[in-house]
Chain A
Amino acid sequence: MTLTDFQHLMPLLILTFAVLVSMLVIAVGRNHKIMYVITAVSFLAAFASLFELRDVGRYTIEPLLVMDGFGVFYIGMILLTALLISMLSYAYFEQREERKEEYYLLLLLATIGSCVLVISTHFASLFLGLEILSVSLYALIAYLRTRERSDEAGIKYLILAAFSSAFLLFGMALVYASTGTMEFAGIAAAIAGFTELPLLLLTGFGLMIVGIGFKLSVVPFHMWAPDVYEGAPAPVTAFIATVSKGGVLGVLIRFFMEVDGFRYPTLVLIFTIVAIASMLAGNLLALLQRNVKRILAYSSIAHLGYLLVAFLAGNQMGVEAVTFYLVAYFITTVGAFGVVAMLSDKERDAEQLEDYRALLWRRPWTAAVFTAMLLSLAGIPLTAGFVGKFYILAAGVNTQLWLLVVMLALNSVIGLFYYIRIVAVMFQQPEAETQVEPRGKLRPSIYVASVGTLTILALLLVYIGVYPSGLLQVIQGLLVTAAP
């Protein structure tokens, strides 16, 4: 490892450093605010350090990692999301009596894990990143120990995740066995050698897809998602929905681009089936669901399906579409869960549809933000979600994936129903004129933290929805290096 390597890994190093520091701080004395500040600052610092790497072409750190535009963008995305989530978490945990400090520790670790994922070019680093992410997630999900749902979610996630990573590992092993290398590039070269893929290799890929599919919670590996989403604390749910999935998707794209998996009809077929299944199952499951967190879980399943459509386009435009959609999706999801978190109280998260009845007349602004988020999920204009969906459709039409595209259209109609349903509930007339809830039971600073976050998210949402070309420039600028 040379010095320049370190420079290029600066964001990760900063985060690691932050982890160590915060451990020490906890050892010295527990203080929620300090921990929060450390986390936030480190995220910011890490993000700032990215600007150094803005115009890195493609810097590989043999053999494990590579730092390129794609990586930079995804890391940046992950960091910002993590930052926002931590801001939300602050207010959320402030109301709770558990020991809050380790939470940030785990958050940082998980973030590191997913950052590693998106820049890894080697099974080893892939595996490491994935496990750092997962193991810290186990803890995060079950963080509120006193709620049995939390534990249930934790144990479910743990067993299933381990189970799936066993598949992943076995798959890797087989691939390794048949190609003799664990570097993506090497594998690509090896594959290029074969006239047709050997059974071993295909089995390997198949098993790996199982592992990856689980993390992405696509059908048929999606079943854990609703339970975990429901059980985990709202901010953590947001984290799972965004950061962890983003990381995995990033590595998936990188791997596929590297080995150019789109040449193999089998793989394409598998992903097509998975995509369609996810869209349908996700939307149908959410249709009459009355638990908001579960609705969001199912909708995230569907959205992963949408993402796969663009992913299957398998060209520069596809990658851009995925990335763009991911950004929109991150903003929206974090926003949505932010609202959930904000409305939650000591005992339970605000997850039942009833908790949102007539929200517009009780807390207009919160309701407005939530509405915006839902409309964005539904892909209605003036929101980022619309542009994202448009981009995906464009990518699909461009490569004539008519089946997928039509399915997407159909599904977003189904999806419309349950998003609008939540909105309708919020807009209902309050039965008894419930006066505005007593606010400011939180200290203003905290309140500001979460409200500010939501406002930022809403503004971003609309900004991207109305003027997407800024974001487009950034993406297109950074992703030129992604596609070989």
Chain B
Amino acid sequence: MSAIPMETGLLLAGVLFMLGLISVMIRRNIIFMLISVEIMLNAAGLAFIVAGSHWAQPDGQIMFIFILTMAAAEVSVGLALILQIHHQLKTLNSDAANFMKG
């Protein structure tokens, strides 16, 4: 099978990363921000896999699994928090949560 060159893969990952990044910046809804962050994380994971395959090592995939687990944990905590926020602010607009400033 013709191996895809690493650069292409990394480029894809990079594009994914940027997508996530931009959407974090433009989204107001906390949940969407969380999702976009997940996208970024996955982009990182993808990059690892690409790199791993390039060096023909399992490490990349191992890292990806780590990332997945971490992301899962994070999302769970995150959702819990978001519930709390919604419970208190009656909104998911992240800008609303700005009691602390200055």
Chain A residues within 8 Å of B, Cβ to Cβ: 123-124, 127-128, 131, 135, 138-139, 142, 145, 148-149, 151-156, 158-159, 162-163, 165-166, 169-170, 172-174, 176-177, 180, 182, 200, 226-227, 230-231, 289, 291, 294
Given contacts A138-B77, A169-B44, contact A182 B59 (CB under 8 A): yes
Interface contact B74-A177, CB-CB below 8 Å:
no
Chain B residues within 8 Å of A, Cβ to Cβ: 6, 10, 13, 17, 20, 24, 30, 33-34, 37, 40-41, 43-45, 47-48, 50-52, 54-55, 57, 59-60, 62-63, 66-67, 70, 73-74, 77-78, 81-82, 84-85, 88-89, 94, 97-102
Complex: how many Å from CA A445 to CA B65? 46
Output the least CB separation between B30 and chain A (Å): 6
Interface contact A169-B45, CB-CB below 8 Å:
yes
Output the least CB separation between A179 and chain B (Å): 9
Interface contact B63-A170, CB-CB below 8 Å:
no
Interface contact A156-B97, CB-CB below 8 Å:
yes
A-B contact pairs, 25 of them (CB 8 A): A123-B63, A131-B66, A148-B89, A153-B100, A155-B30, A155-B81, A155-B97, A156-B97, A159-B37, A159-B94, A162-B41, A162-B78, A169-B41, A169-B48, A169-B67, A170-B43, A172-B44, A173-B10, A173-B51, A173-B63, A176-B51, A176-B52, A176-B63, A180-B55, A182-B59
Interface contact B102-A142, CB-CB below 8 Å:
no
Q: Which residue of B lies closest to A142 (CB)?
A: B81
Enumerate chain B residues within 8 angstroms of A180, measured Cβ to Cβ.
51, 54-55, 57
Interface contact B63-A127, CB-CB below 8 Å:
yes
Interface contact A145-B44, CB-CB below 8 Å:
no
Q: Which residue of A lies closest to B25 (CB)?
A: A163
Output the least CB separation between B7 and chain A (Å): 9
Interface contact A138-B78, CB-CB below 8 Å:
yes
Interface contact A289-B85, CB-CB below 8 Å:
no
Interface contact B84-A142, CB-CB below 8 Å:
yes
Complex: how many Å from CA A95 to CA B44? 43
Interface contact B78-A155, CB-CB below 8 Å:
yes
